[in-house]
Amino acid sequence: MTATVGDARPAGPGRTRLHEAALRLFADHGVNGTSLQMIADEMGVTKAAVYHHYRTKEELVVGVVTPFLDRVSEVLEHARTRRGRRAQVETVLEGLVDLVVDARRMYVVTAVDPVIAHLHEHHPRMREVGGEMRELLAGPDAEPGRRVAVAFFLSGVIGPLADPTCGDVDDDALRAMVMDVGRQLLLPRRASRG
């Protein structure tokens, strides 16, 4: 049994330091390639100290991902308050790109890591948030073409974040460029160009 981590504690400073150290390493080596020993070393403590915060590695992973998941939830919630599909898509797009550029490393990890991919399938809240995002972006009963575009976009955003050839692009420029691509893919103009 994999236990639901209804761990709603507010995450003190120690925990936050742990999250940050773990995240750095996850982004570099993947979750499976990162041992608790590595994390402990990164923080300058021992494994046992890490185990004080989480009972298992899996719970640690969930703990690291959760704050990011929360922010995505907020974006979706905000989008739902808007009227009209186009406005909703635009809002998700903006919020997501913002979030993703701001938390580069995190999104790379959450989007790409095999371990987290499994979590996406099995962890109830991740399934839920992922589903809601796709639904908001694609719309109900979307045609294949639309679903492909959405999947393409969600996966595409990580490219510029991870690609070394884009390392020189600063956050603001990146945000603008990715938004541009996102609009092209998900908000095609009806008749003419605007």
Q: Which residues bind a second copy (CB under 8 A)?
A: 28-30, 32-33, 112-115, 117, 134, 138, 144-145, 147-160, 162-163, 165-166, 168-169, 173-174, 177-178, 181, 184-185
Q: Rule CB under 7 A: is residue 15 a binding residue for DNA?
A: yes
Q: Rule CB under 7 A: is residue 57 a binding residue for DNA?
A: yes
Choose the binding region for DNA from 37-45, 118-126, 141-149, 166-174 (rule: CB under 7 A): 37-45
Choose the binding region for DNA from 36-44, 104-112, 158-166, 172-180 (rule: CB under 7 A): 36-44
The CA–CA distances, whole Å, from 41 to 21, 22, 59, 94 equal 9, 11, 19, 37
CA distance 149 to 185: 6
User: In the block, which residue shows the tokens 């742990």?
Assistant: 18
Instruction: Compute the least distance from the CB of residue 21 to a second copy, in Å.
Output: 17
- Interface residue list for DNA (CB under 7 A): 12, 14-15, 34-38, 40, 44-49, 51-53, 55-58
